[in-house]
């Protein structure tokens, strides 16, 4: 072979050799990379395995130390997993329980399995929870709470269930104890209310006779020396009545039965009425009484007029009681007013004896007075301010006091009330003399049925009804009242609550429900010395319109009766 021919072959072989060595180097490099990657992969895998083991151990530790049972069950309700708490709560071995239908592990007091109370086949895709009382393996009665939810595949099929089981025995015992305590407290409150109602009735009934007869005698032009005795008699009886009322009001608020009654009313008219009521007391003590009303005060207000009146009456009464020289003032100021709301400031100021600084913090506590000597000198139960404060708290407000001993006291509070563009209802009653308050005999011709068993109280109410020229019937028990109501129609029925044969509650119910009654829609009001939480509730439940408490003020009673009959006639004519 010539040199010329060998040259291409040599070049080719050299190229092949170069390529081989290059490939060999690449293979070596690749082997190095693969070995390194394999080592890294091994380390990563080892770390992952360690992490999995760590997490698994942590989860195992958590599951082992959780007091509640964590479980899994298959679609047939057999246990597939139970954490160690199962043995503590149920007293059964985990290994023996796995694979067992869950309901076989829960027995009733007779040791009989309770059945499929979880209804696992009807749970569907929703969650389920139950509270049941069971017997443990040791024979102990326990309350348990179970909750579970389905485990779903990507397609939404139920693969099984997961859930928790808790021992709520102690919680249930607490709940039962609280229920028993609540029943006991309710029973005690009712007993207290019944006692107060009974005592109220027993005290108010003779008081009604004393006050009523005193008022009657004062209207019969007594002699000057008799007038002094009658005034003392009336003052003493009314003072005793105020003490009874304070105790009953405080009990009603403390028991939580005092409810606000928001309605439309004329606040300016209420304030002017209070001024008229207290003006004679102020003149008698020769002190000035001033009521200042902001001219921006809306005509009609939405709120609890009774609560507001009670607070202001108490504050004005106290101010006049503790003021001997100077003046008492009531100021009402508009702080803000909109189309639907108004914010009002009320302040009652006097120039009386004042309150010692050290007593200001306790003055709103029940049965507290500024000084023990005050009770002896001025009287009172020490409940008035406590009642005012609690009434205002029901209205989302509170009573504040600023006082200087020997110079006077100011009580103030702020109320957020509603406003309305409504107008006062138009009186559609035909103008008849029987219902015109301005006339001398506003009840003339009004037919009234009175059921009252106490002879003295019957005498008192009869004298006033006769004086007002009402057309009335008096009966001594509820049964006779129902018979009267079945034979003739009345404009108003007044019912004492505690009577022999048939009480006022049953009589009112019978009149409302009897097919023979001619007075199904006629207003029936309790005229009774009984008051209390349950009395108020029963009055409504038995179809009565409300309670007119005894003893009654004759002037106030007349106004109430006229107003009740007016409203009844208004409803009657509106329905025609």
Find the CATH number of the domain harbouring 484.
3.40.50.2300
Give me the pLDDT at residue 437, please: 41
For residues 368 and 477, membership in a common domain is answered with no
Q: Is residue 405 part of a domain?
A: yes
Please tell me whether residues 53 and 73 are part of one structural domain: no
Q: Is the domain of 412 the same as that of 440?
A: no
**What CATH number corresponds to the domain at position 137?**
3.30.450.20
Say yes or no: 73 and 114 in one domain. yes
Q: Are strands 263-265 and 301-303 parallel, antiparallel or unpaired?
A: antiparallel
In a domain, 198, yes or no: no
Whether 253 is in a domain gets the answer no
Domain C-terminal end among 385, 419, 453: 419
Residue 428: inside a domain: no
Same domain, 36 and 114: no
pLDDT confidence of residue 103 = 81
Q: Which of 103, 138, 167 is the last residue of a domain?
A: 167
Overall number of domains in the chain: 4
Three-state DSSP at 418 gives strand
Same domain (yes/no): 275, 405: yes
Choosing from 116, 148, 167, the residue where a domain stops is 167
Coil/strand/helix, residue 376: helix
Nearest to 517, CA basis, from 469, 477, 483, 546:
483
pLDDT on residue 570: 62
Examine residue 156 and state whether it is found in any structural domain, yes or no.
yes
pLDDT reported for residue 433? 32
Does residue 180 lie within any of the structural domains? no
CA distances from 267 to 294, 309, 349 (A): 11, 9, 19
Which structural domain, as residue segments, surrounds residue 46? 1-57
Domain assignment present for 203 = no
Q: What is the DSSP string of 547-576?
A: EEESS--HHHHHHHHHHHHHHHHHHHHHH-
Would residue 154 count as lying in a domain?
yes
Same domain membership, residue 142 and residue 109:
yes
Assess whether 147 and 46 both reside in one domain: no
- Whether residues 328 and 438 share a domain: the answer is no
Same domain? 414 vs 271: yes
Q: Could you list the pLDDT tens digit for every one of the 576 residues in the chain?
A: 667 667 777 777 778 777 777 777 777 777 777 777 777 777 777 777 777 676 666 656 655 667 788 899 888 888 999 988 888 888 888 888 899 888 888 887 777 777 777 776 665 556 788 888 888 877 888 898 988 888 888 888 888 889 999 889 888 899 889 999 888 887 877 777 777 667 766 777 777 777 777 777 877 777 777 777 777 777 677 667 767 777 767 766 766 666 777 888 899 988 988 888 888 888 989 999 999 999 999 989 999 888 898 899 889 988 998 999 999 999 999 999 998 899 999 999 999 988 888 888 778 776 555 444 444 444 445 677 888 888 899 899 999 999 988 899 999 999 999 998 765 443 333 333 333 344 567 888 899 999 998 888 888 889 889 989 999 999 999 999 999 999 999 999 999 988 889 999 999 999 998 877 788 889 999 988 776 655 777 888 888 988 888 877 788 888 889 989 888 876 654 443
Q: Are residues 413 and 300 in the same domain?
A: yes
Q: Please report how many Cα atoms fall inside a 13 Å half-sphere around the Cα of residue 34, on the Cβ side.
A: 6
- Are 81 and 130 contained in the same domain? yes
- Write down the pLDDT at residue 378: 46
pTM, whole model, 2 decimals? 0.50
Q: In 459-545, where do the E strands start and end?
A: 471-475, 492-495, 524-528
Note the pLDDT of residue 376. 42
């Amino acid at each position: 072979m010539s040199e010329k021919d060998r040259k291409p072959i040599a070049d080719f072989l050299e190229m092949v050799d170069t390529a081989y060595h290059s490939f060999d180097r690449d293979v070596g490099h690749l082997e190095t990379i693969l070995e390194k990657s394999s080592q890294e992969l091994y380390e990563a895998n080892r770390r992952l395995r360690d992490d999995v083991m760590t997490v698994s151990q942590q989860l195992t530790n958590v599951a082992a130390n959780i007091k509640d049972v964590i479980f899994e069950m298959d679609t047939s309700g057999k246990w597939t997993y139970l954490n160690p708490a199962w043995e503590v709560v149920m007293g059964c071995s985990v290994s023996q329980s796995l694979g067992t239908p869950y309901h076989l592990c829960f027995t009733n007091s007779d040791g009989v399995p309770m059945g499929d109370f979880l209804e696992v086949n009807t749970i569907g895709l929703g969650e389920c929870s139950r509270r049941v009382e069971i017997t443990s393996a040791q024979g102990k009665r326990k309350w348990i709470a179970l909750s579970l939810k389905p485990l779903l595949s990507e397609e939404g099929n139920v693969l099984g269930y997961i859930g928790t089981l808790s021992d709520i025995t102690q919680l249930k015992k607490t709940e039962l104890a609280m229920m028993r305590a609540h029943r006991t407290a309710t029973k005690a409150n009712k007993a207290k209310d019944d006692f107060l109602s009974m005592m109220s009735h027993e005290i108010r009934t003779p008081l009604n006779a004393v006050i009523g007869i005193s008022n009657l005698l004062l209207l019969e032009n007594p002699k000057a020396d008799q007038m002094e005795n009658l005034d003392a008699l009336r003052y003493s009886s009314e003072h005793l009545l105020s003490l009874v009322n304070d105790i009953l009001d405080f009990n009603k608020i403390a028991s939580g039965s005092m409810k606000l009654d928001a309605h439309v009313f004329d606040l300016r008219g209420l304030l002017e009425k209070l001024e008229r009521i207290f003006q004679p007391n102020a003149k008698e003590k020769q002190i000035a009484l001033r009521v200042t009303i902001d001219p921006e005060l809306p005509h009609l207000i939405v709120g609890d007029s009774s609560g507001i009146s009670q607070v202001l009456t108490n504050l004005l009464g106290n101010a006049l009681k503790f003021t001997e020289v100077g003046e008492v003032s009531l100021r009402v100021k508009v702080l803000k007013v909109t189309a639907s709301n108004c914010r009002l400031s009320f302040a009652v100021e006097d120039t009386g004896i004042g309150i010692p600084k050290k007593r200001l913090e306790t003055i709103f506590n029940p049965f507290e007075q500024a000084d023990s000597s005050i009770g002896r000198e001025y009287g009172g139960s020490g409940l008035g301010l406590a009642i005012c404060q609690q009434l205002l708290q029901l209205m989302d407000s509170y009573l504040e006091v600023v006082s200087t001993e020997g110079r006077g006291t100011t009580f103030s509070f702020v109320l957020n009330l509603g406003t309305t563009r409504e107008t006062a209802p138009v009186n559609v009653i035909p103008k008849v003399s029987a219902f015109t308050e301005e006339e001398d005999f506003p009840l003339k011709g009004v037919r009234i049925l009175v059921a009252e068993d106490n002879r003295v109280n019957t005498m008192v109410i009869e004298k006033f009804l006769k004086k007002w020229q009402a057309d009335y019937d008096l009966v001594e028990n509820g049964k006779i009242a129902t018979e009267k109501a079945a034979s003739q129609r009345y404009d108003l029925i007044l019912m004492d609550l505690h009577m022999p044969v048939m009480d006022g509650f049953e009589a009112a119910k019978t009149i409302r429900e009897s097919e023979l009654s001619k007075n199904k829609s006629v207003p029936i009001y309790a005229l009774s010395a009984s008051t209390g939480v349950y009395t108020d509730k029963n009055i409504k439940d038995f179809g009565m319109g409300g309670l007119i408490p005894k003893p009654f003020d004759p002037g106030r009673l007349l106004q109430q009766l006229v107003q009740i009959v007016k409203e009844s006639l208004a409803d009657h004519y509106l329905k025609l």
